[in-house]
Amino acid sequence: MYIENEFYQLQKNDWYSLYMVIGIINIQCFRFILLKNVCQLVINFITSRLLSVLLTIVLFSSCDSINDGPINLNNYTELNSQSEGAGMFSFTYDLISESYLNVYSHIPTNSSPSTPIVFVFHGNNRNAYDYRNSLVEKADLYGFILIVPEFTNSQFPGGDGYNLGNVFIDGDNPSLSTLNPEPEWTFSVIEPLFTYTKQQLNNQTAKYHIIGHSAGAQFAHRFLFFKPEAKVDKIVASAAGWYTTLELDINFPYGLNSSPLENMDYTQLFSNHLTVLIGSNDNDPNSSSLRHNSIVDLQGLNRLERASNFYTNAQSIAVNQELNFEWNYVINPNADHNYLIAVSKAADLIFNQ
């Protein structure tokens, strides 16, 4: 009605009324636009709050589902006959210095004194926790005790401290003067840890199995070389970056010369159940952390070539010396350097061969 009155004034040619009408129309339009914007802001605010609430619910639900399972929990911090599921314990490997390492483990339900024990050696990332978690399902499936020692960089620095077993102060330049006493070798931690695990769990198994991947495979195959009396049954060395080959005219760490391995007993070595495992796609010569120099490249330019040559050369020695040869060579189809795929395949090889 008010607008109609304003238009009535127009009929009298009241220009002042014309301005008033235009002003009123502009005010009404401004109010409409303002109301529209306010409504949009309210809708956006309510929507954002609802999304936040929903996201919070999802996150809490996810956390609950993770914590319900054994993979991301350490159910115990001391190993004993009551231990079950995933856990972590400390093992003192040097009583004099009271040096210890953390050991991630998984004890399957209904384990018994005869339950097999499997040691797993992690890669260069020193991620024992992840390696333990990746094999929980296999441990439950096959019924084995999972033991994954964590060789940290601070305790076992660099390749000398881990990959090469701390045999020499400088493993790339071995000499009698830099040869460490055997109790200081990283390799010397494993047998006491096996004994401790058995004692704490009342386990009666005579031997244990080994899975090592990448840097862990380097540690694993050299452990076999330097500890010939170790109580190892089956061992899978998966995708080592390079190897200590059985070449007497090449210096350690690439060969046996200038090391305690010069007089290695091949008969005993080849009687071990060693499987050299490698992915068919683990063939990148530029893979990160893959060592290259004039000596190591004689083994090949990538992990696939090096694994094949390491196995083939050992097999040739066995044939030439007419020795029993218990090693195996397995190519994992379509697999690259992924540790999840590798350790899962390794567990299958140990318990399905």
Cβ contact 241:303 at 8 Å: yes
Residue 147 falls inside a structural domain: yes
Minimum mean pLDDT among 40-44, 133-137, 185-189, 222-226: which range?
40-44
Q: pLDDT at position 37, please?
A: 54
Rounded alpha-carbon distances, angstroms, from residue 173 to 170, 259, 299, 328: 6, 10, 19, 31
Say yes or no to pLDDT of 62 above 50: no
Question: Quick one: pLDDT band at residue 153, thresholds 50, 70, 90?
Answer: very high
What local confidence, expressed as pLDDT, does residue 9 receive? Answer: 45
Residue 60 in domain = yes
Q: What is the pLDDT of residue 40?
A: 59
- Rounded to whole angstroms, the Cα distance separating 253 from 316 reads 21
pTM exceeds 0.75: yes
End-of-domain residue from the set 37, 68, 99: 68
With contact defined as beta carbons under 8 Å apart, do 266 and 245 qualify?
no
Q: Which pLDDT value is given to residue 335?
A: 98
168-205 confidence digits (pLDDT tens): 999 999 999 999 999 999 999 999 999 999 999 999 99
- The Cα-based distances of 195 to 199, 231, 247 in angstroms read 6, 10, 33
pLDDT in tens, 64-119: 333 334 444 677 888 988 888 999 999 998 866 778 999 999 999 989 999 999 99
- The confidence band for 258, taking pLDDT boundaries of 50, 70 and 90, is very high
Note whether residue 301 is domain-resident.
yes
Query: Do 161 and 19 sit in the same domain of this protein?
Result: no
Q: What is the pLDDT of residue 77?
A: 86
> Helix (H, G, I), strand (E, B), or coil: what is residue 9?
helix
41 lies in some domain: yes
Residue-wise pLDDT tens digits, 326-337: 999 999 999 999
204 & 275 share domain = yes
The values of phi and psi at residue 169, to 5°, are -60, -45
Least confident of 32-36, 122-126, 310-314, 316-320: 32-36
Could you tell me where the beta strands, DSSP code E, fall in 222-271?
A: 232-238
Q: Is 316 found in the same domain as 231? A: yes
* 30-41 pLDDT, tens digit each: 454 545 554 455
The pLDDT of residue 97 is 75
**What is the rounded average pLDDT of the residues 213-226?**
98
| Section 123-131 average pLDDT | 97
Contact 344, 133 (CB under 8 A): no
CATH of the domain at 274: 3.40.50.1820
pLDDT category of residue 53 using cuts at 50, 70 and 90: very low
Q: Cα separation of 243 and 217, whole Å?
A: 9
Q: Does a structural domain hold residue 75?
A: no
107 and 20 in one domain? no
In this predicted structure, what is the pLDDT of residue 81?
85
Least confident of 47-51, 84-88, 240-244, 338-342: 47-51
Are 258 and 226 found together in one domain? Answer: yes
Residue 73 is assigned to a structural domain of this protein: no
One domain, residues 64 and 89: no
Q: Tell me the pairing of strands 99-107 and 85-94.
A: antiparallel
Residues 60 and 92 in one domain: no
Total tally of structural domains belonging to the chain: 2
Residue span of the structural domain in which 48 resides: 2-68
Q: Is residue 238 one of the residues assigned to a domain?
A: yes
Distance in angstroms (rounded) separating the CA atoms of residues 243 and 102: 27
Q: How confident is residue 52, by pLDDT bands cut at 50, 70 and 90? A: very low
Per the domain annotation, does 284 fall within a domain?
A: yes
Instruction: Please work out, in degrees rounded to the nearest 5, the angle formed at the alpha carbon of residue 103 by the alpha carbons of 79 and 231.
Output: 85
Q: Do 63 and 99 share a structural domain?
A: no
> Could you give the residue ranges of the DSSP H alpha helices within the chain?
2-10, 15-68, 128-134, 136-142, 158-161, 190-201, 215-226, 266-270, 303-320, 339-352
